[in-house]
Structure 1
Amino acid sequence: MTTRSRRETVHFKHPFRLKGVDRLLSPGAYEVVTDEEMIEGLSFPSFRRVATMIMVPGVAPRKSSMEMFAISSIDLSDAQRNDASARDE
Protein backbone atom coordinates (compact mmCIF):
# COMPACT_ATOMS: atom_id res chain seq x y z
CA MET A 1 0.00 0.00 0.00
CA THR A 2 1.37 3.38 -1.01
CA THR A 3 1.10 6.14 1.59
CA ARG A 4 1.97 9.80 1.61
CA SER A 5 2.04 12.58 4.17
CA ARG A 6 0.97 16.15 3.53
CA ARG A 7 1.96 19.04 5.80
CA GLU A 8 0.20 22.37 6.05
CA THR A 9 0.18 25.28 8.47
CA VAL A 10 -3.14 26.44 9.91
CA HIS A 11 -3.57 29.75 11.72
CA PHE A 12 -5.87 30.60 14.61
CA LYS A 13 -6.60 34.15 15.80
CA HIS A 14 -8.31 33.08 19.02
CA PRO A 15 -7.74 30.44 21.72
CA PHE A 16 -9.36 27.13 20.71
CA ARG A 17 -9.98 23.54 21.76
CA LEU A 18 -9.79 20.27 19.86
CA LYS A 19 -11.06 16.86 20.90
CA GLY A 20 -8.08 14.72 21.83
CA VAL A 21 -6.05 17.68 23.15
CA ASP A 22 -6.46 18.10 26.90
CA ARG A 23 -5.95 21.85 27.10
CA LEU A 24 -6.90 25.20 25.60
CA LEU A 25 -4.58 26.04 22.72
CA SER A 26 -3.22 29.53 22.17
CA PRO A 27 -3.74 31.55 19.00
CA GLY A 28 -1.00 31.11 16.43
CA ALA A 29 0.29 28.88 13.63
CA TYR A 30 0.09 25.09 13.93
CA GLU A 31 1.50 22.40 11.67
CA VAL A 32 -1.01 19.75 10.59
CA VAL A 33 0.15 16.43 9.12
CA THR A 34 -2.28 14.35 7.07
CA ASP A 35 -1.45 10.75 6.16
CA GLU A 36 -3.16 9.33 3.09
CA GLU A 37 -3.09 5.92 1.43
CA MET A 38 -3.55 5.14 -2.23
CA ILE A 39 -6.79 3.45 -3.23
CA GLU A 40 -5.68 0.38 -5.18
CA GLY A 41 -7.32 -0.92 -8.34
CA LEU A 42 -8.24 2.38 -9.97
CA SER A 43 -6.98 3.49 -13.38
CA PHE A 44 -5.90 6.82 -11.87
CA PRO A 45 -4.14 7.73 -8.61
CA SER A 46 -6.53 8.48 -5.78
CA PHE A 47 -5.83 8.78 -2.06
CA ARG A 48 -7.94 8.56 1.10
CA ARG A 49 -7.14 10.23 4.41
CA VAL A 50 -6.22 7.75 7.14
CA ALA A 51 -4.91 10.08 9.87
CA THR A 52 -4.71 13.75 10.80
CA MET A 53 -2.28 15.03 13.45
CA ILE A 54 -1.56 18.47 14.86
CA MET A 55 1.74 19.62 16.34
CA VAL A 56 1.38 21.73 19.50
CA PRO A 57 3.96 23.24 21.84
CA GLY A 58 4.55 21.33 25.07
CA VAL A 59 3.41 22.69 28.41
CA ALA A 60 5.71 24.01 31.13
CA PRO A 61 8.40 23.05 31.92
CA ARG A 62 8.79 21.54 28.43
CA LYS A 63 7.64 24.50 26.34
CA SER A 64 10.51 24.01 23.89
CA SER A 65 9.23 20.51 22.99
CA MET A 66 6.46 19.69 20.51
CA GLU A 67 3.64 17.19 20.99
CA MET A 68 1.75 15.46 18.18
CA PHE A 69 -1.94 14.73 18.73
CA ALA A 70 -4.18 12.61 16.50
CA ILE A 71 -7.31 14.62 15.72
CA SER A 72 -10.36 14.39 13.53
CA SER A 73 -10.25 16.41 10.32
CA ILE A 74 -13.88 17.36 11.01
CA ASP A 75 -12.98 18.70 14.47
CA LEU A 76 -10.16 20.72 12.90
CA SER A 77 -12.52 22.17 10.29
CA ASP A 78 -15.05 23.03 13.01
CA ALA A 79 -12.35 24.79 15.07
CA GLN A 80 -11.22 26.78 12.03
CA ARG A 81 -14.80 27.79 11.23
CA ASN A 82 -15.42 28.83 14.86
CA ASP A 83 -12.20 30.84 14.85
CA ALA A 84 -13.13 32.63 11.62
CA SER A 85 -16.57 33.55 12.93
CA ALA A 86 -15.38 34.66 16.41
CA ARG A 87 -15.36 38.37 17.04
CA ASP A 88 -12.04 40.08 17.61
CA GLU A 89 -11.84 41.60 21.06
Structure 2
Amino acid sequence: MTGMRTTGSSVTFRSPFRLKGFKAPEPPGVYAVETDEEVIEGNDRTTYVRVATLLYIEAGGTIRTVTVDPADLQAALERDVAP
Protein backbone atom coordinates (compact mmCIF):
# COMPACT_ATOMS: atom_id res chain seq x y z
CA MET A 1 0.00 0.00 0.00
CA THR A 2 1.31 3.47 -0.87
CA GLY A 3 0.19 6.87 0.33
CA MET A 4 1.41 10.35 1.04
CA ARG A 5 2.49 12.20 4.14
CA THR A 6 2.94 15.93 4.50
CA THR A 7 5.11 17.55 7.13
CA GLY A 8 5.14 21.24 7.90
CA SER A 9 7.83 23.50 9.28
CA SER A 10 8.97 27.08 9.03
CA VAL A 11 12.16 28.85 8.03
CA THR A 12 13.33 32.30 9.08
CA PHE A 13 15.35 34.64 6.91
CA ARG A 14 17.04 37.64 8.56
CA SER A 15 17.90 39.26 5.22
CA PRO A 16 16.25 39.42 1.79
CA PHE A 17 16.78 36.15 -0.08
CA ARG A 18 16.42 34.76 -3.56
CA LEU A 19 15.96 31.18 -4.72
CA LYS A 20 16.47 29.74 -8.20
CA GLY A 21 13.60 30.79 -10.45
CA PHE A 22 12.61 33.81 -8.35
CA LYS A 23 12.39 37.04 -10.35
CA ALA A 24 13.15 39.24 -7.35
CA PRO A 25 14.39 38.83 -3.80
CA GLU A 26 11.84 38.09 -1.09
CA PRO A 27 11.85 40.12 2.15
CA PRO A 28 13.16 38.77 5.45
CA GLY A 29 10.66 36.97 7.65
CA VAL A 30 9.22 33.63 8.67
CA TYR A 31 8.02 31.39 5.85
CA ALA A 32 5.95 28.20 6.04
CA VAL A 33 7.35 25.11 4.31
CA GLU A 34 5.59 21.83 3.51
CA THR A 35 7.28 18.65 2.38
CA ASP A 36 5.25 15.97 0.62
CA GLU A 37 6.61 12.44 0.73
CA GLU A 38 5.39 9.25 -0.86
CA VAL A 39 5.16 6.33 1.54
CA ILE A 40 6.59 3.09 0.20
CA GLU A 41 5.93 0.08 2.39
CA GLY A 42 8.19 -2.91 2.06
CA ASN A 43 8.46 -6.28 3.72
CA ASP A 44 11.07 -5.16 6.25
CA ARG A 45 10.52 -1.41 6.56
CA THR A 46 8.64 1.64 5.41
CA THR A 47 10.51 4.33 3.48
CA TYR A 48 9.59 7.86 2.46
CA VAL A 49 10.56 9.49 -0.82
CA ARG A 50 10.32 13.27 -1.09
CA VAL A 51 8.17 14.33 -4.02
CA ALA A 52 7.75 18.08 -3.39
CA THR A 53 8.87 20.92 -1.15
CA LEU A 54 6.56 23.93 -1.07
CA LEU A 55 7.35 27.43 0.20
CA TYR A 56 4.43 29.71 1.13
CA ILE A 57 5.02 33.41 0.45
CA GLU A 58 2.57 35.95 1.89
CA ALA A 59 2.46 39.41 0.32
CA GLY A 60 -0.24 42.00 0.06
CA GLY A 61 -2.91 39.80 1.62
CA THR A 62 -2.31 36.90 -0.78
CA ILE A 63 -0.40 33.66 -0.36
CA ARG A 64 1.70 32.31 -3.19
CA THR A 65 2.80 28.66 -3.15
CA VAL A 66 6.12 27.95 -4.84
CA THR A 67 7.73 24.56 -5.41
CA VAL A 68 11.39 24.82 -4.40
CA ASP A 69 14.47 22.64 -4.47
CA PRO A 70 15.22 21.67 -0.84
CA ALA A 71 18.98 21.95 -1.47
CA ASP A 72 18.52 25.48 -2.85
CA LEU A 73 16.41 26.43 0.18
CA GLN A 74 19.06 25.05 2.55
CA ALA A 75 21.81 26.94 0.70
CA ALA A 76 19.83 30.19 0.98
CA LEU A 77 19.40 29.62 4.71
CA GLU A 78 23.14 29.02 5.10
CA ARG A 79 23.94 32.21 3.16
CA ASP A 80 21.54 34.10 5.41
CA VAL A 81 23.44 33.21 8.59
CA ALA A 82 26.94 33.56 7.11
CA PRO A 83 28.89 36.62 8.30
TM-score w.r.t. length of structure 2: 0.90
Residues 1:9 and 2:6 are matched in the alignment: no
Identity across matched positions, percent: 34
Alignment match of 2:70 (pick from 59, 70, 73): 73
TM-score w.r.t. length of structure 1: 0.84
Question: Aligned-pair RMSD on alpha carbons?
Answer: 1.2
Return 5+ residue gaps in structure 2 as ranges. none
- 1:3–1:36 CA contact under 8 A, matched in 2: yes
List aligned pairs for 1:1-89, cutoff 5 A.
1-58=2-59, 63-85=60-82, 87=83
Aligned length: 82
Shift of 1:42: 4.3
Query: Where does structure 1 differ by over 3 angstroms across 4 or more consecutive aligned residues?
Result: none
Letter in 2 for 1:64: G
1:76 partner SS: helix
Decide whether aligned partners of structure 1 residues 22 and 37 sit closer, same or farther in structure 2, where only a CA change above 3 A counts: same
Give the Cα separation in 1 of the matches to 2:67 and 2:57: 11
CA distances 1:26-68 after superposition (whole Å, capped 9, x unpaired): 111000010001123242222111100100023xxxx001000
2:10 partner SS: strand
Q: Decide which structure has greater strand share.
A: 2
